[in-house]
Structure 1
Amino acid sequence: MSSGVPRTVKAVDTPELVRLDAEAIACGLNRNHGAGWLADYADPAAVHYLWPVLVHRADHRPEFSPHWRCLLLLAMCDGQQVSSLLDVLPASFTELPETLDAATKTEIAHRLEHGGLLTQAQWADRNP
């Protein structure tokens, strides 16, 4: 994990995740899922988890730099959980409420690092 990012995991519902993804797209950040993709394929009733892992700089968009590159534990519409990446503005991440206990945060981080999860791209290739 890179210094400069919060050492926490935050839970987000699907509407909030779609909003964060739209914000990344609008800001020209590299790690996003494309307009409408999450609304089409993420489980609309699920909770997803964001874990900032590094500070990312976008020289082409200095007004949005730096931002945080987050690992994302994403629940799909078919019930699978996959890993993905999402660039999030620091203020947007900070505004998300802290709702998880330490043990849950540790378990989610472990799943993202060592869980053998499919990536979002692998899931998309298998579910055209």
Structure 2
Amino acid sequence: MDAERPLPCEVKVIDSASLFRLEERAGDLGLSQRLDPTWVRANAAPGGTHYLWPALWHALSHRPDVPDHVRWELLITLRTGDRVVSWLDVIPDDFAPLPKVTSREEGTQVRQLLDHAPSVREWLLREGGGSDRL
């Protein structure tokens, strides 16, 4: 972690195709904060809007082949209309080109949703699916 390095000062808004790609990329790189892409494809709303909120820089000193990356809070819109929160590690080359939220109001709304939405694990337990499905 690099506490001196400033986080991106933007909230990213992504579509489902971008979410699937980012989750798969995190898996390919062996990054620790990600969801099972199969679960994401089965549960994320196909036409949904999802958000990334920067949380911290993360470095894998034992894996110099993996660039420093940002650990993002991830707000996922599900097929059911529910929203859930998770984490997603994304390298700079992948997050830089993503569109960002353009209004303060939308950013404020995203923060409120992140603060009140259940985690994926909580949602699964509530829905009776168990967290072992991740």
CA RMSD, Structure 1 to Structure 2 (Å)? 1.6
Tell me, yes or no, if structure 1 residue 53 matches structure 2 residue 79.
no
Deviation at 1:91, TM superposition (A): 1.6
- 2: CA distance between counterparts of 1:61 and 1:125? 34
Matched length: 125
The answer on 1:126 being equivalent to 2:126 is yes
Identity %: 33
Alignment of 1:106-125 (within 5 A): 106-112=108-114, 114-115=115-116, 117-125=117-125
Aligned-partner Cα distance in 1 for 2:79–2:63: 33
Q: If the length of structure 2 is used for normalisation, what is the TM-score? A: 0.84
In the TM superposition, what whole-angstrom CA distance separates every residue of 1:43-66 from its partner, at most 9, and x where no partner exists?
111100011110011234322231
Query: What is the CA distance between 1:99 and its match in structure 2?
Result: 4.6
Alignment correspondent of 2:95: 93
C-alpha distance in 1, partners of 2:63/2:126?
Answer: 33
- Please show how residues 1-128 of structure 1 align to structure 2 within 5 Å: 3-112=5-114, 114-115=115-116, 117-127=117-127, 128=129
After TM superposition, which residue ranges in structure 1, 4 or more long, deviate above 4 angstroms?
none
Q: Please give the per-residue CA displacement for 1:20-77, whole angstroms capped at 9, x wherever unaligned.
A: 0000000000011113111011111110001111001123432223100000111111
Give 5+ residue unaligned stretches, structure 2.
130-134
**Structure 1, unaligned stretches of length 5 or more?**
none
- Preserved contact between residue 11 and residue 101 of structure 2 (Cα < 8 Å): no
